[in-house]
């Protein structure tokens, strides 16, 4: 492996790490929002509703940061021989529908659950590609 190829792989790994950082943070906030949402669902009152929405807002911010980080990762990955791009379009679209509106607490819980599943899927994809890239650096 020549220097240029090694540099491109290292840049892709760094971009993967950045994407994973935001995906893990989003997942943490979604977990917390889900927990507060359950409390809210079963009569938690005003405070639990406020905390739930705060955690959802934090999750939304991290999802937006993850979207940009995933786009950067995709760009860096295209520079690595053997990779065309990461398939992130489904993850990018899920973030758009997640925060469209809150009609009922049950629906919010369902959206949080779906968002956690999508986040987990994106984490698995990035981790797998990152592991492949790290193996190529050895």
Helix (H) or strand (E) holding 35: helix 3-41
* Interval 33-49 mean pLDDT: 82
- Tokens (6 digits) for 63: 């999802």
User: Percent of the chain beyond pLDDT 90?
Assistant: 40
- Rounded to whole angstroms, the Cα distance separating 102 from 137 reads 46
Cβ–Cβ < 8 Å for 24, 130: no
Tell me the residue range of the domain where 123 lies: 3-137
Please state which of the ranges 7-16, 37-46, 111-120 shows the lowest mean pLDDT: 37-46
6: region left, alpha or beta (phi > 0 left; psi from -120 to 50 alpha):
alpha
- Rounded to whole angstroms, the Cα distance separating 66 from 82 reads 24
> pLDDT-derived band of residue 103, with 50, 70 and 90 as boundaries?
very low
- Residue from 95, 125, 120 nearest 23 by CA: 120
Cβ–Cβ < 8 Å for 40, 59: no
pLDDT tens digits, 70-99 = 889 988 888 888 876 555 555 555 555 454
Number of domains in the chain: 1
Instruction: Give the per-residue pLDDT at 89.
Output: 53
**What is the pTM for the complete model shown?**
0.81
Residue 35 class from Cβ within 10 Å (0-12 exposed, 13-18 middle, 19+ buried)?
middle
For the cut 70, the answer to whether the pLDDT of residue 119 exceeds it is: yes
Instruction: Give the per-residue pLDDT at 135.
Output: 94
Which phi and psi (to 5°) does residue 103 adopt? -85, -35
* Interval 102-123 mean pLDDT: 80
């Amino acid at each position: 492996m020549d220097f240029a190829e090694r540099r491109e792989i290292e840049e892709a790994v760094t971009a993967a790490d950045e994407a994973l950082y935001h995906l893990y943070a989003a997942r943490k906030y979604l977990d917390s929002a889900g927990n507060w949402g359950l409390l809210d669902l079963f009569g938690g009152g005003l405070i639990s509703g406020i905390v739930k929405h705060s955690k959802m807002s934090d999750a939304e911010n991290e999802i937006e940061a993850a979207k940009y980080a995933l786009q950067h990762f995709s760009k860096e990955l295209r520079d690595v021989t053997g990779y065309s791009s990461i398939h992130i379009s489904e993850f990018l679209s899920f973030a758009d529908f997640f925060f469209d509106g809150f009609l009922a607490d049950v629906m919010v819980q369902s959206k949080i659950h779906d968002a956690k599943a999508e986040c987990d899927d994106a984490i698995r994809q990035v981790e797998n590609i990152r592991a492949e890239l790290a193996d190529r650096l050895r």
